[in-house]
Structure 1
Amino acid sequence: MLLRLPTSVTEAQECMADGAVPIGGATLVWATWQRDGFPEQAMSLRHLPEATEVRPERLGGAVVLHQVDDRVPEVLRRAAGSVGTGAVRRTATVGGNLVGSTLRCLLPAALVLDARATVLGTDGAYETDLNEVLAKRHLLLALHWRTPVTSGYHKEPAEAGGPPPLVVATAVHTDAEGRRRLRVAVRDGYEVLSETTACDDGAGQVLGALERTDVAALPARAREVVRRQVTGVLADPAGR
């Protein structure tokens, strides 16, 4: 197998045109390749500047999870830090987790940040939303977002190899008119739902509004975690 390491978007496009398979950190594909055979060409973006940035409002798709630090919002940092073991986090990438994994541990965090994606297609790089990225399994160059006022993250304990643990992510944003809105995303099993509501009138108003959304259909245990997380993030002085 030939591993190609493009250093520009143009080179990455050429690799794609030649049929090179994106590998991320190879944590998800290696076992499959050992069983089914290796491709002739693979491509890693770890030398591509656009895919390796870590900034307050941007995170490259080739960034390894253990490199996700306090330069990004708390919700995204904690989500990355909760994935697998230390060994996994030293090899798994942001793009691999979001696009290549069925667990998509970073997805709730990205949703509450209202993140957009820059992806690489045959005609070059362009911006799109997360729904398209996941549906079409695009090659992710980077995520970008507006910094929230505050954010929070909770992941239930779980045994390795068991069912996906419950995840609840929250973030408070200020809109153009100065009004505050809360976004919440929940991973229950393999399904992820997200909702947004005004939050200027406090936790009671927010929780009442969420009970009129799909959040109300979650199991009682999940709804209780949502309640605690929403109450907690709105109790943060920054979130008031």
Structure 2
Amino acid sequence: MLLRLPTTLSEAQRYLADGAVPVGGATLVWALWQRDGFPEQAMSLRRLPEANHIAREALGAAVLLHQVDDRVPDVLRRAASTVGTGAVRRTATVGGNIVGSTLRCLLPAALVLDARATVLDPDGTYETDLSEAVAKRPLLLGIRWRDPVASGYYKAAGEAGGPPPFVVATAVHAGDDGGHRLFIAVRDGYEVISETAARGTGTDEVLAALEGTDLGSLPAEAREEVRREVTAILDRTAAH
């Protein structure tokens, strides 16, 4: 297998057009390749500057999970810090986790940040909705968002080899009209549900509105965790 390591977008675009298979940290695909056979070409973005930046409102796809620190909002930092073991976090990448993994541990955090995806295809780069990027699995260069007023993250305890732990991610964003809006996303098993509600109403009204969405179909214990997380972040942002 020939591993391509582009240093420019034009190189990455050319390798992609030549059939190179994108690979992040290879924490998930290596075993599959050993079983099914290795591709002729693979491509890593670890030397591509556009895929390695870390900022308050942007994160590159080639950034390793252990590098995600307090330069990004708390919800994203905490999500990255709870993925797998330390050894996994030193190898796995942001892009591989979001578009290459069925667990998608970072996806709830990215959704509540209302993030957009920057992707590359043989025709060039473009920005797209994050849910579309997850569904179509293009070559992800990074994600961008607006800094929230506040964010929160909860992950239930899990068992090794068991189902994915339940996750609740929350964020409150300031709108252009001066109002605030709550974003919430949960991972229940392998399914991710995201919803939003106006922050201007009281906590009980927000919770009632969320109960009328797909979140209301969650098991009772999961709905209670949602209630706790929503109440906590609304209390924290009450003065804003």
Q: Structure 2 length normalisation: TM-score? A: 0.98
Cα distance, 1:52 vs structure 2: 0.3
The secondary structure found in structure 2 opposite 1:119 is: strand
TM-superposition CA deviations, 1:64-96 (whole Å, max 9, x none): 000000000000000001100000000000000
TM-superposition CA deviations, 1:127-160 (whole Å, max 9, x none): 0001210111111001000000000000101012
Question: In the alignment, is the contact (CA less than 8 A) between 1:150 and 1:239 conserved in 2?
Answer: no
- Counterpart code for 2:129: D
RMSD of aligned residue pairs (Cα, Å): 1.0
Unaligned 5+ runs, structure 2: none
Tell me what 2:175 maps to.
175
Cα distance, 1:237 vs structure 2: 4.4
Whether 2:78 is the aligned partner of 1:78: answer yes
Tell me what 1:26 maps to.
26
Quote the Cα distance in structure 2 between the aligned partners of 1:239 and 1:26: 45
- Counterpart code for 1:194: S
The secondary structure found in structure 1 opposite 2:87 is: helix
Measured at CA, do residues 238 and 57 of structure 1 come closer, stay the same or move farther in structure 2, by a change above 3 Å?
A: farther
Q: Give percent identity, aligned residues only.
A: 71
Tell me what 2:224 maps to.
224
Tell me what 1:153 maps to.
153
Quote the Cα distance in structure 1 between the aligned partners of 2:170 and 2:36: 40
Tell me what 1:142 maps to.
142
Q: How does 1:15-54 map to 2 (within 5 A)?
A: 15-54=15-54
Quote the Cα distance in structure 2 between the aligned partners of 1:239 and 1:65: 33
- Counterpart code for 1:128: T
Runs of 4+ off more than 3 Å: 237-240
Cα distance, 1:202 vs structure 2: 3.0
Tell me what 1:111 maps to.
111
The secondary structure found in structure 1 opposite 2:146 is: coil
Quote the Cα distance in structure 2 between the aligned partners of 1:186 and 1:206: 16
Cα distance, 1:238 vs structure 2: 6.9
Unaligned 5+ runs, structure 1: none
Q: Structure 1 length normalisation: TM-score? A: 0.98
Quote the Cα distance in structure 2 between the aligned partners of 1:41 and 1:121: 16
- Counterpart code for 2:30: W
